[in-house]
Amino acid sequence: MIAVPANTVAELAFHAQQDHADPFNTVRLDVLFETPGGGLLRVPAFWAGGATWKVRYASAETGRHAFSTVCSAKDDAGLHGVSGEVEIRPYEGANPLYARGPIRPSDNHRYLQHADGTPFFWLGDTWWMGLCKRIRWPDEFQVLTDNRLRKGFNVVQIVAGLYPDMGAFDPRGANEAGFPWEEEWASIRPAHFDHADARIAHLVESGIVPCIVGAWGYYLPWLGPEKMKRHWRYLIARWGAYPVAWCVAGEANLPWYLVPNFPYDDREAVTGWTEIAAYVRATDPFGRPVSIHPTGLGRLSARGSIDDQGLLDFDMLQTGHGDRESLGPTVDTVRWSYGAEPRMPVLNSEVNYEGILGRCHDDVQRLMFWTCILNGACGHTYGANGIWQMNQADTPYGNSPHGGTYGPTPWQEAMNLPGSRQLGEAKRLLDGYAWHEFEPHPEWAHYVDSAAPRDTWHHPHAAGIRDRVRFIYAPQGFDVVLCELSGDGWRVRAVEPASGAVADLGQLQVSPSGSVAVSRPFSDDASRPEQDWLIIAERT
């Protein structure tokens, strides 16, 4: 019997007593676990190479969990009919993913929370190619993990070997053991995933949720639906016991870059990925949250990249890399998703990587974060050019299949761009409030200056809890009128998101109409679009 703390991973190995030709494709092994409370979970096992299969299991329920194996090779006594027990003991450590449990949607489907009900503010980073050898294990990977952890990031979006921006079996996509699949998609390669395991486990042990993207969207016609299901079953067997989130595909509605008429909204691919999403939900016994990553076409959201929104637990958006021109589509898409049915948590999973094509600097990172959050998002994913493709100083990623390049910034430089620090500070600021109870209220604020922009996107963005606290983000440095305040007793602070400077403006007198004007207390140059500021009004 093996014993592990609650929510941590127990690994059991089973060894075939017979030779099996093409074991990945011909042998299917499941392990049935019966919980002390009478629950039954069917957990897929994975071929670990040679004659070995493994299963990984985790549970929050303490006590003895009995198991028995069910194998398609029923005459192999090493794989079929093996029984035993796993003991789950209380967890006594400090890792929130174990102490509070994995993440899931809240009961009101507005935000994400740990299994124990603690709200989880998603601050993600984009490491699409983080499982390949372009970033070395362990030293470089751990440096980047530590950097993000110190800044408050708690999610990493990472692709399981079938990467974007490259063709199949491009050398840039290999890890220390090569590719995830054999040529012609003949079989999975366990050695590749052995190396990936160490990185996924390190993220989890650091308290970071891996949001695992199964494949980029254009791989589906290359593998076909049945092999893509086998690929996903393998990922679930390897990593489903960890406190992960699933992203069924990246840019699910975008075809291969070099097809005629590219780019376009590929609805045939959407139908195919909907089938895969249903398979993921049916196969994962642990019920990890599921979404899908869209491209910058159509609705710009997971809702528009799947035929059955009921398969989604949260909505991932991608709203462009157009610098400040992306503000309109970003605000419109967040507001649309927040108001759509079925209700689900919404977050922007890709927008304006910092430094991409020499633009989208820290002012744009703040702009996208605060406008998303104050219009209903329950978290946000940052990205930096140089990190998503893991540029090295001596080996930048190089050209995309279409011939262009997004820039050679090394990841070591990109991890210290100011936007990541500023977004981490923004998360820490929100963590001091009941952010999960915030509701967007754009009518709560407007600019004083008649020369200020009046359109819905550049208008101040506001959210909060009506009679308790309000956050107002002004994308530009004009004075702001706070509206619909119920009586006096409102204490106001101003925050400069770029520097973190705070000015206590004291208790302001509210007019009979329920409004009060607030002037920006920091050095001001309204001709500079990055002169954004934040107002926090609290009822005393």
Predicted confidence (pLDDT) per residue in 168-211, tens digit: 999 999 999 999 999 999 999 999 999 999 999 999 999 999 99
Q: Output the six-digit token pair for 432.
A: 């001091």
* Angstrom distances, CA of residue 182 to CA of 24, 189, 406, 476: 11, 7, 29, 53
Reply yes or no on whether the pLDDT at 218 is more than 60. yes
Domain 441-539 belongs to what topology? Immunoglobulin-like (2.60.40)
Residues 185, 180: Cα–Cα separation, whole Å: 9
> Residue ranges per domain, the chain?
2-89, 112-433, 441-539
Residues 338, 303: Cα–Cα separation, whole Å: 11
- Residue 458's pLDDT is 85
Q: What is the mean pLDDT of the chain?
A: 96
Question: Which DSSP category does 357 fall into?
Answer: G
Reply yes or no on whether the pLDDT at 257 is more than 80. yes
- Residue 525's pLDDT is 63
- Residue 528's pLDDT is 60
Residues 311, 309: Cα–Cα separation, whole Å: 5
Question: For the residues 233-238, what does the mean pLDDT come to?
Answer: 98
> What is the tens place of the pLDDT at every residue in 368-386?
999 999 999 999 999 999 9
Question: For the residues 279-291, what does the mean pLDDT come to?
Answer: 98
Question: For the residues 394-420, what does the mean pLDDT come to?
Answer: 96
- Residue 420's pLDDT is 98
> What is the tens place of the pLDDT at every residue in 108-146?
999 999 999 999 999 999 999 999 999 999 999 999 999
Question: For the residues 156-178, what does the mean pLDDT come to?
Answer: 98
Closest of 284, 271, 161, 142 to residue 214, by C-alpha: 161
Q: What percent of the chain has pLDDT over 90?
A: 93
CATH number of 2-89: 2.60.40.10
> Residue 469 corresponds to which amino acid?
V
Angle, CA 479 vertex, CA 474 and CA 484 arms, to 5°: 80
DSSP H/E element including 469:
strand 469-474
Reply yes or no on whether the pLDDT at 453 is more than 80. no
Q: Output the six-digit token pair for 19.
A: 């030779």
- Residue 523's pLDDT is 76
Q: Output the six-digit token pair for 77.
A: 């006594």
Q: Are 311 and 277 in contact (CB under 8 A)?
A: yes
Reply yes or no on whether the pLDDT at 336 is more than 90. yes
pTM of the model: 0.97
Confidence of residue 455 (pLDDT cuts 50, 70, 90): confident
Cα 7 to its chain centre, rounded Å, is 20
Q: What is the signed CA dihedral for 256, 381, 245, 264, rounded to 10 degrees? A: -20
Q: Say if domain 112-433 classifies as CATH 3.40.190.10.
A: no
Cα 482 to its chain centre, rounded Å, is 33
Strands 445-447 and 480-482: antiparallel
Reply yes or no on whether the pLDDT at 275 is more than 60. yes
Equal fold, 2-89 vs 112-433: no
Rg from Cα positions in the chain: 24
> What is the tens place of the pLDDT at every residue in 515-532?
999 999 987 665 565 689
Confidence of residue 70 (pLDDT cuts 50, 70, 90): very high
